[in-house]
């Protein structure tokens, strides 16, 4: 008897989660390298008794839209964008993490570090350190880093890696991703662009329509619960009167 209410409630809870995901997308509409997320729902089948089927809904997963974000030129020598598939590797105390946000800087040791001061690793899995006194940095499409002191030999090569199962990477915030999968070198057509950053791939129009959709569905379900409540009330009143 209570099933209609429970089914509706499962949808309401799922919609609340969806609203959280939409809100996070909107909040990160201007975050460098952010990838928008959407919620995947699935049917949750219950057989309370013979011949009866009840389908609840549950949010099975949040998936990431891995399409590239728009590129915006900053003309900062240490701003890098990845054209094509791939991630930068940064070193943390908990092992390497991966990111698409290429807003890099230098630390006191002359190492290339990300926004949080984590060293950006080269293909040898070591931080890239610029020579003392270098005042111009040039980074080629393949990730080789040159300075004005020695325009022939690179001081290092920025590591760009890919993964087979990108959706299995988990987010840890600050634009960083984590995965147990072994990284593979990026495909040949992945190039780095210097002085450019990849913006968030959130499309505001899509998020706004999603949001309206969530709200209307939420209100619609409230109506279902409401009418279910009324019919139960009705039933109790009628049956009660006859008794």
Partner 1 sequence: MRSLAIGATGMQAQQLNVEVISNNIANSATNGFKAQRAEFQDLLYQNMRRIGSTSSDAGTIVPSGVQIGAGVRTASVYRIMSQGNLTVTENQLDIAVNGNGFFQIQLPTGETAYTRDGSFSLNPQGQIVTSNGYLLNPAITVPPNSQSITVSATGQVQAKIAGTVTPATVGQVTLAAFPNDAGLEATGDNLFLETPASGTAVTGNPGVQGFGSIVQGSLETSNVNVVQEITNLITAQRAYEMNSKVIKTTDEMMQTVGQMQ
Under rule CB under 8 A, which residues in 184-203 are in contact with partner 1? none
Q: Which candidate, 121, 69, 79, 126, places its Cα nearest to that of 97?
A: 121
**Binding residue (CB under 8 A) for partner 1 from 46, 226, 231, 234:** 226
For the CB of residue 188, give the shortest distance to partner 1 in the complex, in Å. 27
In this structure, are residues 129 and 155 in contact, taking their beta carbons and an 8 Å threshold?
yes
Under rule CB under 8 A, which residues in 206-225 are in contact with partner 1? 207-208, 211-212, 214-215, 218-219, 222, 225
Decide if residue 76 touches partner 1 (CB under 8 A).
yes
Collapsing DSSP states into helix, strand and coil, what is residue 75?
coil
For the CB of residue 189, give the shortest distance to partner 1 in the complex, in Å. 26
**Binding residue (CB under 8 A) for partner 1 from 3, 46, 55, 167:** 167
For the CB of residue 29, give the shortest distance to partner 1 in the complex, in Å. 5
Collapsing DSSP states into helix, strand and coil, what is residue 129?
strand
Under rule CB under 8 A, which residues in 100-119 are in contact with partner 1? 101, 103, 105-108, 110, 115-116
For the CB of residue 91, give the shortest distance to partner 1 in the complex, in Å. 18
- Contacts of residue 229, Cβ cutoff 8 Å, sequence gap at least 6: 5
For the CB of residue 194, give the shortest distance to partner 1 in the complex, in Å. 13
**Binding residue (CB under 8 A) for partner 1 from 3, 42, 46, 170:** 170
- Contacts of residue 93, Cβ cutoff 8 Å, sequence gap at least 6: none
Tokens 């040949």 belong to 188
Q: Distance between CA atoms of 124 and 156, rounded to whole angstroms?
A: 9
Question: Token pair of 200, please?
Answer: 């968030």
Decide if residue 82 touches partner 1 (CB under 8 A).
no
- Contacts of residue 89, Cβ cutoff 8 Å, sequence gap at least 6: 96, 97, 98, 120, 121, 125, 159, 160, 161, 183
**Binding residue (CB under 8 A) for partner 1 from 132, 153, 237, 242:** 132
Give the nearer residue to partner 1 in terms of CB position, either 84 or 110: 110
Total residue count of the chain as it appears in this document: 243
Decide if residue 150 touches partner 1 (CB under 8 A).
no
Give the nearer residue to partner 1 in terms of CB position, either 3 or 148: 148
Q: Distance between CA atoms of 37 and 22, rounded to whole angstroms?
A: 8
């Amino acid at each position: 008897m209570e099933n209609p209410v429970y089914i509706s409630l499962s949808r309401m809870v799922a919609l609340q989660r969806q609203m959280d995901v939409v809100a996070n997308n909107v909040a990160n509409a201007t975050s460098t390298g952010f990838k928008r997320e959407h919620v995947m729902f699935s049917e949750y089948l219950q057989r309370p008794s013979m011949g009866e089927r009840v389908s609840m809904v549950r949010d099975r997963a949040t998936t990431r839209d891995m399409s590239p974000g728009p590129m915006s030129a900053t003309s900062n020598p240490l701003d890098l964008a990845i054209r094509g598939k791939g991630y930068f590797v940064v070193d943390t105390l908990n092992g390497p993490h991966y990111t698409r946000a290429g807003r890099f800087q230098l630390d006191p040791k002359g190492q290339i570090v990300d926004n949080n001061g984590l060293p950006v690793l080269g293909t040898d899995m070591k931080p890239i350190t610029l020579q003392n006194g270098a005042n111009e940095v040039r980074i080629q499409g393949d990730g080789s880093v040159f300075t004005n002191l020695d325009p022939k030999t690179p001081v290092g090569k920025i590591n760009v890696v890919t993964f087979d199962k990108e959706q299995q990477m988990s987010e840890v915030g600050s634009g960083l991703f984590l995965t147990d999968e072994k990284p593979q070198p990026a495909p040949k057509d992945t190039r780095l662009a210097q002085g450019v950053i990849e913006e968030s791939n959130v499309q505001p129009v899509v998020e706004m329509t999603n949001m309206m959709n969530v709200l209307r569905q939420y209100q619609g379900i409230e109506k279902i619960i409401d009418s279910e409540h009324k019919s139960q009330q009705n039933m109790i009143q009628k049956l009660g009167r006859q008794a």
